[in-house]
A and B are shown apart, each in its own frame.
Chain A
Amino acid sequence: MTMNRRALLKGLGAVGVATATGARPVTARSRRPVAEDAVGMLYDATRCIGCKTCMVACRRANHLPYEKPGHPWDDPVDLSGRTKTVIQRYRGREGQSYMKRQCLHCLDPACVSVCMIGAMHKSEGGIVAYDPDRCIGCRYCQVACPFDVPRFQWDSPTPKIVKCEMCRHLLARGRRPACCEVCPTGAVQFGKRKALLAEAKRRIARHPDRYVPKVYGESDAGGTQVLYLSSVPFEKLGLPHLGTEPIPRLSETVQHGIYKGFIVPAALYVLIGAAVRRHHRQRSVDGRKEET
């Protein structure tokens, strides 16, 4: 009896710890390969003249209202529940630069990893798309995104998440994203990610004096489909040092370590059930002793 009990407790302890920490021999989840057909954008900050035509085109193409309704002109300063892209200016010791903020369409996106029933999902060409029909409005995607991209319609009683979807409705009709269609200097261009990455590297090689020697997004946070070139350090433009690990790596490794195939929870359940049963049996045998 005591032996049994000890074995039971030991089993419970081991499974419990494994459940809580994912301490089983777990191999960290592998990196996803870049899809051949992955589309992307290249934003070359040195070519941007800050005319904001892209912002106007984005608003029109996505049927978004003005940032401040009722105002005679539009003046968004940040992404918001009404604004999917914004041009910001940096001026400092490193010189000056414009910056186009929008969703980077990560290769291995944190927002997709956390979304419960796939409202945020990878769609054709690797575009990170949003389906309001599956969105619960939990805002976990906002917590997860390292670039603070997804925004919430705070002022609506029936809110949605708002973020750039690379104008996938236009792509479906054979067009390009609105911002890339209208940009007068070609600062933001649409294309296959592979081609854009090669082009970006070519530009750096041709004008090493003009660029920070790095294509942001090549491997940052596991790689993104929107790539950046700039003359000032990227972190000044709001593109932080994130390392090359995909953001969801840790959480998915821990979570799958614990729940892979549901074996650990199932084993734990059976063990707990056995313990409860033993307790009940014992209780009905020496019930009186228990009461005191």
Chain B
Amino acid sequence: MNPHVHALPEATLPRSFRLLRILVGAGVVMMLWRFLAGLGATTALNDGYPWGLWIAFDVVTGTALACGGYAIAILVYVLNKGAYHPLVRPALVTSALGYTLAGLAIVLDVGRYWNLYKVLYVWRWNPNSVLLEVALCIMAYVVVLWIELSPAFLERWRQSASRALRWISQKGDPILQRALIWIIALGILLPTMHQSSLGSLLLIATHKLHPLWHTPLLPLLFLISCIAMGYAVVVFESALSSHLFHRRVEKRMLASLSSVMVGVLLVYLIARFADVVVRGQLAAAFRFDGYSLLFLVEVALFLAPALMLLSRRARSRSGSLFRAAMLMMLAGAWYRFDVYLIAFNPGRGWIYFPSVPELVISMSIVALEILGYVAIVRRFPILGGLTAATVER
């Protein structure tokens, strides 16, 4: 498909990767413990805060950070900006891994995981349940992501020593080519649906979620911010690849991408502010109590990268671009933590702070994601052709 795309078998990994492997090991032990002893023994969850770190971070924030594939697909296919094509595959890898591991987090979190398959019982579907829609969409999207990514595997397997893999590659390719348009379209539709619905999930908490956050616009705000986070992750990930694999950053492309990010951020901020004003919560926003400060920091985190990237000069410097991307990821994560945990108050004196096993498992999932990314990028043609050896033109 793309002649400039290479696998990178020769890359060497820094020592710190051993730490990641240790983390994954520790995580697996904790996961076993969770299944044997139950959620009470391993988590700080309680009847007031039935959803904790795994939902707020691994599922809700994790899938938003895995929106790189979605955000780039909007740019390339919907807005027809073919120039961004080289960013598609690396973004898809982060998305596929992110969503798959969010799936793992869901299995860990639900109490009766052996009943999970029953969400496929169409005749029992409760159309009022936002969670049902989220669950089905995420399941479907994991499959879609790996299919979208499969051309990279097939390309590689074409030259494989194994005859079976060569056969799969030969047979699979034409089928894939024919279906790909509709798969790609699904890859844009599904995240639009479930990322907004991840916001709708908390609409039911009418009296538990603080009014600065509880708004009918929850789905819209979640949708816009996940797109911003998606672009930020693409920037972050290409900086990381350039560091790990000694590659030149696709500077010009990232600079123009960052002007798109500014637009998305501004739309988000306008929607957020307009909503607070219209619902008469402006006074609450500037009361300077805990919730107000939480809100102001959150808004500042969204505003800062937008301001940083306003100037063209800043956009072309990879350092400030990288910093802005980090801020943007933090902003989106902050917003999600506010909605799901910090501004969520069930009353009656409930408190929640994640336990050690919860933290270790969450970190191990991130570690697994990084290791998975590196493993896939090393073996399959994912990254664009800007290696040190083959500098374009």
Chain A residues within 8 Å of B, Cβ to Cβ: 5, 9, 12, 16-17, 19-22, 79-80, 110, 113-118, 132-140, 142-144, 146, 148, 150-160, 238, 240, 242, 247-248, 250-252, 254-256, 258-259, 265, 268-269, 272-273, 275-280, 282-283, 290-291
A134 with B185: CB separation less than 8 A:
no
Query: Which residue in B36, B208, B220 is a CB contact (below 8 Å) of A20?
Result: B220
Query: Which residue in B46, B51, B82, B118 is a CB contact (below 8 Å) of A134?
Result: B118
Question: What are 18 inter-chain pairs, A to B, with CB distance below 8 A?
Answer: A114-B128, A114-B129, A115-B126, A117-B126, A137-B113, A143-B204, A146-B207, A152-B47, A160-B112, A250-B203, A252-B128, A255-B128, A255-B203, A265-B193, A279-B77, A282-B82, A290-B83, A291-B4
B85, chain A: closest CB distance, angstroms = 7
A265 with B189: CB separation less than 8 A:
yes
Task: Using known A-B contacts A139-B111, A240-B207, determine if residue A255 contacts B200 with beta carbons closer than 8 Å.
Answer: yes
Question: How many residues does chain B have at the interface if contact means C-beta atoms less than 8 Å apart?
Answer: 72
User: Hey, which chain B residues are within 8 Å of A134, CB to CB?
Assistant: 115, 118, 124
User: Hey, which chain B residues are within 8 Å of A277, CB to CB?
Assistant: 181
**Measured between alpha carbons, how far is A16 from B224 in the docked complex, in Å?**
11
A243, chain B: closest CB distance, angstroms = 9
Task: Using known A-B contacts A19-B192, A290-B82, determine if residue A155 contacts B203 with beta carbons closer than 8 Å.
Answer: no
Instruction: Tell whether B206 is near chain A: CB-to-CB under 8 Å.
Output: yes
**Measured between alpha carbons, how far is A156 from B275 in the docked complex, in Å?**
43
A144, chain B: closest CB distance, angstroms = 4
Task: Using known A-B contacts A12-B78, A154-B38, determine if residue A21 contacts B220 with beta carbons closer than 8 Å.
Answer: yes
Instruction: Tell whether B132 is near chain A: CB-to-CB under 8 Å.
Output: yes
**Measured between alpha carbons, how far is A137 from B55 in the docked complex, in Å?**
13
B232, chain A: closest CB distance, angstroms = 20
User: Hey, which chain A residues are within 8 Å of B203, CB to CB?
Assistant: 250-251, 254-255
User: Hey, which chain B residues are within 8 Å of A157, CB to CB?
Assistant: 35-38
B206 with A146: CB separation less than 8 A:
yes
Mask for B182-201, Cβ within 8 A of A = 1, else 0?
A: 10111011001100110011
Interface residues in B215-232 (C-beta closer than 8 Å to A): 216-217, 219-220, 223-224
Mask for B73-96, Cβ within 8 A of A = 1, else 0?
A: 000111110110100000000000
B181 with A117: CB separation less than 8 A:
no
Instruction: Tell whether B346 is near chain A: CB-to-CB under 8 Å.
Output: yes
- Minimum CB distance partner of A275 in chain B: B78
**Measured between alpha carbons, how far is A114 from B32 in the docked complex, in Å?**
29
Task: Using known A-B contacts A238-B348, A268-B189, A282-B82, determine if residue A159 contacts B111 with beta carbons closer than 8 Å.
Answer: yes
